[in-house]
Amino acid sequence: MSILEVSGLSKRFGGLQAVNDVSFSVDRGQVLGLIGPNGSGKSTTLSLLMGVVRPDRGKIQMEGVDIAGWRTHRIAKQGMAMVFQHSRPLARQTVLENIKLALLPDTLFQLFPPHTLDRRAHEIAERVGLAKVVNEHPGELPFADLRRLEIAKALAQDPAVLLLDEPFAGLAPSETREFAELVRLFREEDRAVILVDHNVKEVAGLVDNIVAMHAGKRIAMGSPEEVTRDPHVREVYFGSSLESASGVHAAGDRRAQSGSDRPLLEVELRSVRYGLAEALRNVRLQVNDGECVSVVGINGAGKSTLFKSILDFLPYEGVVRWQGQAVTGNGPGAVASSGIALCPETRELFRYMSVRENLELGGHRLDNQEREAQLERVFDLFPVLRQRQAQAADTLSGGEQQQLTIGRALMQKPRLLILDEPTLGLAPLIIENISEALERLQRETGLAILLGEQNLTFALRHSERVYLLETGNLRWQGKAENFVAEVGEDVL
């Protein structure tokens, strides 16, 4: 019997089926990877295993005992531990004290810790690479050491099953390699490990088996080679095969001839961080007048971080130039007013306001006559918005909300439109409607577009040039027509 067997695991949050009839198993001394795009249900699955969230149905059998629905502390005593994506150490305690607290016995009948507690805490610190910082406080640690501390606290429980949620997120390549060695050590110690991460290549190099998820369901299971080459998995990540994607590239034929290749946007980012975690490193990018440029990469590559930096939502080391002038530090309002509009992945619509009110807010800087004219252009581009203009935004379908998000951005009359994952979660018919709208915009107006996409079919169809991001680093750049030949299928 496998140490952990999961069968029919399901969880619904309101109208969202987050996990739907998921089954898998893992043995001692094995590493199982969970992969999938954002919203596929990976982290929810870990939370169900650890008892953070109660399942609606399904079994979680650990060494033959069904622990589904148990409270977290009971599951921990059964032999399972979880390293969460975000570190939450006790800030006033030192590294050693944090580890010692995790080692304390969970019983009222043993009021004093055993004499071996201090020695055991030092051993765990040494094992995860914290020996030199045991007397420091968490606030003094670099990001990688904070992640090591979370792993140390989990190891203090001596778990038989270890759950790791995004252990490589925000790490530099050298740090990622060190953490990979830690995972291999856990396998050698005969622990079962379940690993969730956006870094598919790193996961594939560590695990024995992979479960691929999409929209809460398991869509593939097997060896890393089998799963990463599975047509359904690649379609979920990229839209279709890269061969078919390369056959639809025609952006150069559709673009309005501006007669100029002068750069509108120039980006030079040495580093972008979320607290101690570095999300982007040494990224350079340029968008010319009237051009469509795509930034591609799987979820977690850094696309959204790049766009937020351009709009000055995030502090960064480097410079962003718009029409030759540095806009670094000007603030999002000033950058948007200068002619850059962002359609965020999360849409950020005013839910209880009508479609028309959302659009009018997008064009609030225009005078009445100009605003009405721009509204007509948006309605002509997306006819469904004219039909729904009196409806509240939150009553629209996902595809209609995405069209409204793009329409609201166009109401600013930008020179550069930034689209962050515009096809995410949309039906093929809606994707085709958005595709046709972008073609019209470029053909009729020469609007410059910066497109962030995981769907390579969509990105290559519209782009003249492509930048490939991988875990915060710029891996490749060039003409869209050369992408398949030079990068090939080695993207996932």
3-state helix, strand, coil in the chain (%, to 5): 40, 25, 35
Mean pLDDT of 227-240: 81
Q: Which long-range contacts (CB under 8 A, 24 or more apart) does 319-325 make?
A: 319/268, 320/265, 320/266, 320/267, 320/268, 320/269, 321/263, 321/265, 321/266, 321/267, 322/264, 322/265, 323/264, 324/263
DSSP helix/strand/coil, 362: helix
Q: Which two tokens stand for residue 321?
A: 């130039």
Q: Provide the mean pLDDT of the chain.
A: 88
Residues 421-462: pLDDT tens digits? 998 877 677 888 899 999 999 888 889 999 999 888 889 989
Given a contact cutoff of 8 angstroms between Cβ atoms, the answer to whether 390 and 354 are in contact is yes
What's 53's DSSP letter? S
H-helix segments, 104-210? 117-128, 143-155, 173-188, 200-204
Burial class, 24, CB count within 10 angstroms (exposed 0-12 / middle 13-18 / buried 19+): buried
Phi, psi of 461 (to 5 degrees): -65, -35
Given a contact cutoff of 8 angstroms between Cβ atoms, the answer to whether 18 and 11 are in contact is yes
Residue-level pLDDT at 19: 94
Q: Which two tokens stand for residue 247?
A: 């056959």
End-to-end CA distance of the chain: 32
pLDDT at position 170 over 80: no
C-alpha to C-alpha distance for 374 and 299, rounded to whole angstroms: 33
Residue-level pLDDT at 172: 74
Residue-level pLDDT at 256: 43
Domains within the chain, CATH numbers bracketed: 4-238 (3.40.50.300), 242-339+414-487 (3.40.50.300)
Residues 99-150: pLDDT tens digits? 998 888 766 555 556 678 888 999 999 999 999 999 999 988 888 899 899 9
Given a contact cutoff of 8 angstroms between Cβ atoms, the answer to whether 321 and 329 are in contact is no
For residue 76, what pLDDT band results from cuts at 50, 70 and 90? very high
Instruction: Give this prediction's pTM.
Output: 0.70
pLDDT at position 479 over 70: yes
Place of tokens 């061969």: 243
Amino acid at 466: V
Q: Which two tokens stand for residue 352?
A: 């209880």
Residue-level pLDDT at 144: 87
For residue 171, what pLDDT band results from cuts at 50, 70 and 90? confident
C-alpha to C-alpha distance for 327 and 150, rounded to whole angstroms: 38
Given a contact cutoff of 8 angstroms between Cβ atoms, the answer to whether 157 and 81 are in contact is yes
Mean pLDDT of 43-51: 94
Residues 346-383: pLDDT tens digits? 889 998 999 999 999 999 999 999 999 999 999 999 99
Mean pLDDT of 174-196: 90
Can you count the helices (H) and strands (E) in the chain? 20, 20
Percent of the chain with pLDDT over 70: 92
Q: How many CA atoms lie within 13 A of 212 on its CB side?
A: 23
Nearest Cα neighbor of 155 from 96, 209, 92, 82 is 82
Q: Which residues contact 185 (CB under 8 A, 6 or more apart)?
A: 127
pLDDT at position 490 over 70: no
Q: Which residues contact 43 (CB under 8 A, 6 or more apart)?
A: 85, 165, 166, 196
Residues 256-311: pLDDT tens digits? 444 457 899 999 999 998 877 788 999 999 999 999 999 998 877 889 999 999 99
Residue-level pLDDT at 84: 87
pLDDT at position 395 over 80: yes
Q: Point out which residues pair with 344 in neighbouring strands.
A: none
Given a contact cutoff of 8 angstroms between Cβ atoms, the answer to whether 258 and 252 are in contact is no
Q: Which of 83-97, 151-165, 368-382, 419-433 has the lowest mean pLDDT?
A: 419-433
Place of tokens 């594939």: 204
C-alpha to C-alpha distance for 316 and 279, rounded to whole angstroms: 10
Amino acid at 109: F
